[in-house]
Amino acid sequence: MSHTWVIDSNCFIHLGSMAPDRFLSDMKSLKASGNHTFLVTPGVHGEVRTVRFQRCKGKPELLKSMESILTTISVEPDQVRGLAKLIGENASPQDVDLSLMVLASQLAREGGDVVLVTDDFKMTTTGEKANLGYTTCPPSTFMQRLAELGPNKARSTFNSLSRRIRAAEMRYAISRVNEYDIQAKLTWMVDSLIEGPKAKVAEPAKPQPNESDDVLSTALKRGLMGEQIKIKHRKKLGNLLDICRPMVGLDEHLASLSTKAYSNDVEGAYTMTMLALSEALESVGLGLASLGERDAELANTAIAGFVQRTETALGLMAKMSGNQIAARLHLSRALQAATLIDDQFAEMHSMHQLGLLATGSDDWERAARLFETADRQAQSIGSDRLAYLVLAGITRHMNQEAQAAERHIQSAQAYVMADKMKACISLSKIGTSLLSIDQPGLALEILDEAMECALESEQSAQTEQLAERLLMANAAMTKLDSLHHEGLRSLLDRLNAIDEGAQDAFNKEIEAIDQRASLHMAPLAETWNTWQAGERLISEGEHLTVVRSEVDEHGHTLIIVHHWTLGSLGLWLPEGRLPVSPGHILSLGDSRVKVAQPTVDLQDQHGIRGIVAIEDSSALDFIVPTEGMTGDD
């Protein structure tokens, strides 16, 4: 069972004065087990920044020593103010305590066993009055519960620490006997010891039929995946297996979309997938119509995985087609379906995609919350956190929350320094994702960091790939982007500590890219106003990649494409063409082309070197990688 602990400052003060040397190693073992998550809010950092482990060798700083154990989650100021107003200013705890209460309440409403660790009895009583949904325990009980839940080798350390902290808590409470009635607090402290580590879920056992439903639900899922299930389970399921079987075709449909590496008909794939989902759901709905609520619940839980994967693919295809509203709707449905099957990886993936959509529309606060939630999911399943930490740091920075941004980037730095090769691949994917949502300014800064890691880990193929992506990011940049992302470079510079030799190689590589980028900003020396074969513009094996699209006041769409050799070119889309997104590859087919000098305004505004005219616009094709359509990235 997973346990989530939200810890206040006083607990850390106790630990700083009493925790022995082996405490940190025992806590790291608990964290590594994946069964415990230890959370704080930014205000806690401010209150205990000077606290040290007094009984540990060298008296190290507490927060620095526990950096890999603790996760810091930001809480919006308006949520803190809202809780203070709900409770009443006179009864309200301090802002840092309120932020912990908000965080614990949010997590409790998401589900799971959430305990707020505090010796401030007011946080317990006001939480109960406001119906915030979490349970509380003092730091001494927190240590005792860790002793009961953790490995045997840590039990002695935690029990001893629990007794020492309890003595301090009692002394403090008794010292305040003349200031307030301590009986209620002492009763709470004793009750927290009696309730034990699973107090919140110590409810009457579920009736046997519910336990049987879990078994049958698992059997139904296995049957749909083609596995053999027990005859007794098959009998109990009746015809549910046949009713739900049409959903299996959705996975087969998504697999068929990936049979080729690229697709030139995203709209067609989207329509066919919508039709496949509609038909499958309709068939299941007709089959369940005559059955009872219990059978319907079993079926809907069993098919949720198929729905989640299909809605994710629909969301990604809608995003590629430029339909952000539909993309958000599909991805939200995917997230909802993932919660039905308690698939934290699927939830994390959906949160990530929704966060990218929010980033693409400059909704920084919502994007940050989505990435931070994805990061919490990644921690709970032991998945790689780097992408979520970096994206959360960027979006918090863009939302003018400097301290929160710095904490995320500081946490991300540990992952970068641990494995430069892995970090390079992850950062490269982040940069590519940001390019695909028309955020070239953000992508440029991330790809810079990826290039550092590529040079340090001597990945020549990755270095060449990154050089092209950096050129594409430069081509997609506007003057507004440069101003918009001021200060981001100094923040992201903290991601990686590069050695002197690699720094020299990096500077040379970036200088060469900057020179090519400057060359690509100058108008083409050679243009032609007579129709020429398309191969003259795009040689065999080369391609044009869309980096940005703009719609003028007349509704005409200008797409900016990047050519590895020629740089940025502009192309007016014929009327009636679907919206095109960054990352699409442009194919000219057999059409002939003309190339003209750009106007001064177009050259200045978009940095393009030439304007391309297409003789046969029907020959145009926009091609996308199918892995990006189905979520296999």
Go through the domains of the chain in sequence order and give each one's CATH number: 3-201 (3.40.50.1010), 204-342 (no CATH), 528-630 (2.40.50)
d(CA 490, CA 215): 54
Residue 111 predicted with pLDDT over 70: no
Short-list 183, 161, 159, CA closest to 173? 183
Instruction: Outline where 152-207 has alpha helix (H).
Output: 152-175, 183-195
Q: In a 10 Å sphere around its CB, with 0-12 CB exposed, 13-18 middle and 19+ buried, how is residue 418 labelled?
A: exposed
Q: In a 10 Å sphere around its CB, with 0-12 CB exposed, 13-18 middle and 19+ buried, how is residue 430 labelled?
A: buried
The residue count of the chain comes to: 633
- Residue 195's pLDDT is 60
Query: 604 is written with which tokens?
Result: 């200045």
Residue 352 predicted with pLDDT over 50: yes
Residue 276 predicted with pLDDT over 90: yes
- Residue 198's pLDDT is 44
> Residue 3's Cα: distance from chain center in Å?
21
Beta partners for residue 98, in sequence order: none
Backbone angles phi, psi at 410, to 5 degrees: -65, -40
- Residue 483's pLDDT is 60
Edge-first strand order for the sheet with 70-72 is 70-72, 36-40, 3-7, 113-117, 135-137
74-88, 354-368, 453-467: segment of lowest average pLDDT: 74-88
Query: 402 is written with which tokens?
Result: 């400097």
Q: What mean pLDDT is predicted for residues 574-600?
A: 79
Per residue in 410-425, pLDDT tens?
A: 889 988 998 989 999 9
Per residue in 528-544, pLDDT tens?
A: 889 988 888 887 767 78
Strands (E), 16-96: 36-40, 70-72
d(CA 328, CA 311): 10
Short-list 199, 180, 202, CA closest to 191? 199
d(CA 149, CA 373): 25
Across 6-20, 143-157, 194-208, 318-332, the highest mean pLDDT is recorded for 6-20
Rounded to 5°, the CA angle 300-302-303 comes to 65
- Residue 574's pLDDT is 67
What's the mean per-residue pLDDT of the chain? 83
Beta partners for residue 114, in sequence order: 4
Going by C-beta distance under 8 Å and a sequence separation of 6 or more, which residues neighbour residue 451? 463, 466, 467, 470, 506, 509, 510
Give the H or E element holding residue 299: helix 293-320
Short-list 369, 266, 122, 291, CA closest to 580? 266
Contact 118, 124 (CB under 8 A): yes
Residue 206: other Cβ atoms inside 10 A: 10
Residue 65, CA atoms < 13 Å, CB-side half-sphere: 24
Query: 630 is written with which tokens?
Result: 């189905």
Residue 337: other Cβ atoms inside 10 A: 24
> Would you place residue 199 in the very low, low, confident or very high pLDDT band (cuts 50, 70, 90)?
very low
> Residue 424's Cα: distance from chain center in Å?
18
Q: What mean pLDDT is predicted for residues 590-600?
A: 87
Contact 614, 593 (CB under 8 A): yes
Per residue in 392-404, pLDDT tens?
A: 999 999 998 988 8
Backbone angles phi, psi at 123, to 5 degrees: -70, -25
Q: What mean pLDDT is predicted for residues 439-459?
A: 89
d(CA 168, CA 297): 51
> Residue 517's Cα: distance from chain center in Å?
32
d(CA 353, CA 560): 25
CA 265 vs CA 309, 352, 487: distances in Å: 20, 25, 40
Residue written as tokens 């193929």?
Answer: 461
Which amino acid is present at 4? T
Higher pLDDT, 16 or 618: 16
Beta partners for residue 627, in sequence order: none
- Residue 50's pLDDT is 92
Contact 67, 45 (CB under 8 A): no
Short-list 286, 345, 337, CA closest to 311? 337
Across 33-42, 472-481, 545-554, the highest mean pLDDT is recorded for 33-42
Instruction: Outline where 419-545 has alpha helix (H).
Output: 420-436, 440-456, 460-476, 479-484, 488-492, 500-521
Backbone angles phi, psi at 259, to 5 degrees: -65, -25
Q: What percent of the chain has pLDDT over 70?
A: 89
Residue 211 predicted with pLDDT over 80: no
Which amino acid is present at 587? S
CA 52 vs CA 5, 39, 43, 64, 131: distances in Å: 21, 19, 17, 9, 35
Higher pLDDT, 128 or 23: 23
3-state SS track over 212-279: HHHHHHHHHHHHHCCCCCCHHHHHHHCCHHHHHHHHHHHHHHHHHHCCCCEECCHHHHHHHHHHHHHH
Rounded to 5°, the CA angle 186-189-190 comes to 90
Query: 127 is written with which tokens?
Result: 């939480």
> Would you place residue 13 in the very low, low, confident or very high pLDDT band (cuts 50, 70, 90)?
very high
3-state SS track over 364-421: HHHHHHHHHHHHHHHHHHCCCCHHHHHHHHHHHHHCCCHHHHHHHHHHHHHHHHHCHH
Please state whether beta strands 567-572 and 610-614 pair in parallel, antiparallel, or not at all (unpaired): parallel
> Would you place residue 1 in the very low, low, confident or very high pLDDT band (cuts 50, 70, 90)?
low
- Residue 29's pLDDT is 86
Contact 496, 418 (CB under 8 A): no
Residue 292 predicted with pLDDT over 60: yes
Q: What mean pLDDT is predicted for residues 140-163?
A: 86
Short-list 465, 478, 481, CA closest to 564? 465
Contact 473, 431 (CB under 8 A): yes
User: 31-53: string of b/e by CB count within 10 Å (b at 16+)?
Assistant: beeeebbbbbbbbbbebbeebbb
